[in-house]
A and B are shown apart, each in its own frame.
Chain A
Amino acid sequence: MGKIGLIIKREYTTRVKKKSFLLMTILGPILIVGFLVGAIWLGQQEEKNLKILVLDDTYVLSNTLLQSEKYHLTSSQDEGIENIDDGKTFLKEHDQYDIFLYLPGNIVSGNTSVGKLFYKEAPSSNVQRHLENIVDGSIERLRLKELNISNEDYSRLKNKVQLHTIDVVSNEEKNVGMRAGVGFIFGLMIYMFIFMYGIQVMKGVIEEKSNRIVEVIVSSVKPFELMMGKIIGIMFVGLTQFIIWVLLSLTLTTTLSLTVFPDMMSPQKMAETAKAEQVAVGIELEPVNSETEEIGKEFQDLIFNQIPWGLMIGLFIFYFIGGYLLYGSLMAAVGAAVDSETDTQQFILPITAPLIFGYIVAAMAIDNPNSIAVEWCSQIPFTSPIVMLVRVSMGAEGLALEIITSMVLLIGTFIGTTWIAGRIYRTGILMYGKKASYKEMFKWLRHK
C-alpha cells in the first residue's frame, strides 16, 4: 500500500471507529424514519370530537348545517340562548361545549361573510377551515334553493379540470412537480454531505496543525499527499455513512409498513389524507375513491417508471464526489491557513455562500426548472452538484450536452481548487501562531 493509502486508511478508520460516528449512523435513519412516520401518523389521527354551540341569527342556516360525528353542532335555542353575550357566558361556564359559533344575520347576503368563533382552547387551523367549509356549504345550498338550481346541475357546474403534462419528445405522461421534488432531495443530500464532511476536512487539518504532528508527517510524505489522503479518507467515511443510512432507512420503512402500520404508508392512504380536507363538505360527496386511486397510481408510476434511476444514481455519485472534492479541498486550505477553529469564520463564509446559493436555486428549480438562473447554476461547478440533478430528474432528454459540459467543468474546477489548496496547505500547515491574510495566501500560491 502506498503512503497515500496509509493516510486514507488512518483517516477512515479513526473516524469510523468513533462512537459519535456509530451513533450518527444508526440514529440518523431512525430519527428520519421516526419523524416521517410520526408526521404521517399524526396527520391520520382523528382529532377529538368537538361540541359546537351555534347561535344562528339568520334562522335558516342552522337547519342545513351538516352534522358529523366529529363536529357535533347544537342550536343555541336548545340551550335557551338568544344573544351573543349569553352564548359567550354559557361557553365560559359550561364544560360540554368546546366552541361557540356565531352566525350574524347578514352572513348569507354578502360575498364575503364574517362569522365569529369563540373558543376556550384555541382550535387548530384544520378545525377552523372545516367549520368555514360547513358554513360555506350551507350558504351555497341556501342560494341554490333560492336560484332554483338542482344539485345535479350544480355538480355539473363545479366540474374540475386536471391538466396532465406530457413530454412531446418521448410522448410520456410525466408529473413534473413530483419528479423535480425527487431531484431536489438528491441535491439536498449532496448539499448536506458537502457541508458536513467539508467541515470535517477543515477540522482535521486544524487538528493536525494544532497537534503539531503535521511536521513529522510531512517529513515522510508530501504535503499534497497528506491533504489528498485526508480528503479522500473522509469522503469514504461520508459514503459509508450515506450507504448505511439509505439501507437502514429502506429496511426500517419496509419493516414498519409491513408490520406496525400495514396500510399507513400506502399511496392511497396518503392521498386520502391529503384529499380528506378538500372533500369535507360539498353538495354531494365526490367520488373520492377513484380520485385517490388515481393519485396513488401516479405516485407509483413516478417511483417506478418516470424517474431515470440509473442515470440519476450515476450522476448523483459523480456530483456527490465532484462537489465534495471541490469544496473539501477549499476547506482544507482554510484549515491550513488558520491557527484555531475560531479564526475560520472569515474564510468559510465566501466558501459556503455559493453552496447555500446553489441550494436556493435548486429549491427554485422545482417550480421553474427552465429559468436562466437554474440553467446557469447547473453549469457553474460551485452550484452544479446541487442544481443539476433537479433538472435531470425532470427528464434528461436534450440535456446530454449540458450534463457533459457541467461534468467537465466540475472536474476541471476541482483539479484547479485542489492545486490551489495544495499550495496554500503546504505553506500554511507550518505557519504556527498566526492567521494568514488573503494577501499572504496569494503569495503562498506563487512560492516555489
Chain B
Amino acid sequence: MTNETPIFEAKNIVKEYSGHRALDNVSIKVPKQSIFGLLGPNGAGKTSLIRIINQITAPDSGEILIDGKPLQREHVSQIGYLPEERGLYKKMKIGEQAIYLAQLKGMPKKQAKQELMLWFKKFEIDTWWSKKVEELSKGMAQKIQFITTVIHRPKLLILDEPFSGFDPINTNLVKEEIMKLRDEGATIILSTHNMGSVEEICDNIALINNSKKILGGKVNDVKEQFSEEKYIIEFKGTGVAFANAIWGGWEMVNNEQLGKNHAKATIKLTGGTQLNDFLKGIINAVEIESVNKVIPSMNEIFIRAVENESNSKKEVTNENTNQDG
C-alpha cells in the first residue's frame, strides 16, 4: 500500500489570510482506500486545508495532487464534501434538493434519482422524498446531507465532523457506511474531535496545531510513538510485597488493592529496565496473573501532543525574553 501513489497528497501548503498564517508548510499523504483522520484543536487550520482541497480557496504556495495529478476543476466530481457548517435549502423539497446537489456534482438527473431512492431506502427515509427540509429534525437533515455527499460515488470523501447531531444509533449507521464506502474503494478524510471514532475507524492520522502538522502516520505507529514503558500488572499478593520485591529502575504509577489478596499495579519502567528483568524480580514475591502494556488513547495523544507543542513554544519565548534581559 505504501508504494502505491497516494490518492491525495498535499505538498508544503502555505495559506495566509491578511497577515495570519492559517497553514504553514503542511504536507500530508493519504493512501488509497483508507480512512484518514485530520485532527487538531479548533482554529488549527483544518478547515483551511479542507477548503483548499475542495478548491473553494487556493493555497498561496504548495501543491495538491489527486491520484498523482495536480488538482483541477474536473476533480470536483470525484470529491465529496460534508462541511462542518452545513445546511440545506429550507423551502425546497428533499428529493428535488438531493437531485439538484447530485446534478451539481455532475450526475445525470435520472441516475441521480435512481441512486437516491436506494440510499433513501437504506436510511429508511424514503417517505420523506416530497417533504420540505423545514419539516425535518436536525438529525434527519444530517442524514440527507450525508447522502448528498456520497451520492456521486466520489473517490475522495471529506467529512468534517460527520457525527455531530446524530444519536448513537445513527452514528453507528454512518460509521458503518463510511467503512463500507472505504471497502468499496473510496478514500475518506475525516476531520473530527471525536477521538473515540478516530481510534475505531481511522487507519492514518495527521495532527495539525497552530497551522503546522505536528504529528502524522499510521494510528498504531503514532500510538507506539507515544507509548511509555507503562504496564498494568495484576497479581495475587499485597502491594507492599510487590513494591518491596525490586529496588530501582521503575516507578509505581498507581496501586489498587482489588481484594484481600488481589491487586493491580500500574508501573513505569525507567532507566532502560527491561520488562522481563522486572518480572523476574517480582515473580518470587507475588503471583502474576496478567501483564498488559498501557497503550495511550488518541485522546491522550492529542492532548499531550498539543500541550507539548505549546510548552516548547513557551520555552522558546522565555529564552528569548531572557536573552533580551
Contacts and interface: CB of A to CB of B under 8 A. Distances in A.
Given A213-B88, A216-B86, A216-B87, 8 more contacts: A6-B100, A212-B83, A212-B85, A213-B87, A219-B76, A219-B79, A219-B81, A443-B18
A159 interface: no
Nearest to A221: B104
A432 B85 contact: yes
Given A211-B87, A219-B76, A10 B100 contact: yes
Contacts of A207: 89
22 contacts: A7-B104, A10-B100, A14-B92, A211-B90, A212-B83, A215-B56, A215-B85, A216-B81, A216-B82, A216-B87, A216-B145, A216-B148, A216-B149, A218-B54, A218-B56, A219-B54, A219-B56, A219-B76, A220-B101, A432-B85, A448-B58, A448-B60
Interface in B40-81: 51, 54-56, 58, 60, 76, 79, 81
Contacts of B148: 216
Contacts of A6: 100, 103-104
B73 to A, nearest CB: 8
A180 to B, nearest CB: 43
A127 interface: no
A219 B88 CA distance: 14
A129 interface: no
A443 B20 CA distance: 13
A217 B55 CA distance: 12
B96 to A, nearest CB: 9
A217 B101 CA distance: 7
B134 to A, nearest CB: 10
B304 to A, nearest CB: 31
Nearest to B148: A216
Interface residues of B, number: 28
B105 interface: yes
Interface in A361-400: none
Nearest to B91: A14
Interface string B134-152: 0000000000010011000
A114 B100 CA distance: 77
Which of A7, A207, A208, A211 has the most B CB atoms < 10 Å from its CB? A211
Given A216-B148, A430-B51, A443-B18, A211 B89 contact: yes
A432 B85 CA distance: 9
Interface of A: 3, 6-7, 10, 14, 207-208, 211-213, 215-221, 223, 430, 432, 443, 448
A350 B89 CA distance: 30
Contacts, number: 61
A216 B101 contact: yes
A358 B278 CA distance: 91
Given A216-B148, A218-B56, A211 B88 contact: yes
A367 to B, nearest CB: 46
Nearest to A217: B104
Contacts of A211: 87-90
B180 to A, nearest CB: 22
Contacts of B89: 14, 207-208, 211, 213
A225 to B, nearest CB: 10
Contact of B104 (A208, A212, A220, A432): A220
Given A430-B56, A448-B58, A448-B60, A215 B86 contact: yes
A218 B104 CA distance: 10
A443 B54 CA distance: 23
B87 A212 contact: yes
A6 B104 CA distance: 7
A12 to B, nearest CB: 13
Contacts of B51: 430
Interface in B99-140: 100-101, 103-105
Nearest to A218: B56
Contacts of B83: 212, 215-216, 219
A207 B91 CA distance: 10
A93 B82 CA distance: 84
Contacts of A223: 56
- A-B pairs with the 8 shortest C-beta distances? A212-B87, A220-B104, A211-B87, A215-B83, A219-B54, A219-B81, A213-B87, A212-B85
A220 B81 CA distance: 9
A213 B101 CA distance: 10
A430 B47 CA distance: 11
A339 B56 CA distance: 19
Interface in B264-297: none
A428 to B, nearest CB: 13
B91 A213 contact: no
B249 to A, nearest CB: 55
B106 to A, nearest CB: 8
A211 B85 CA distance: 9
A213 to B, nearest CB: 5
A216 B105 CA distance: 10
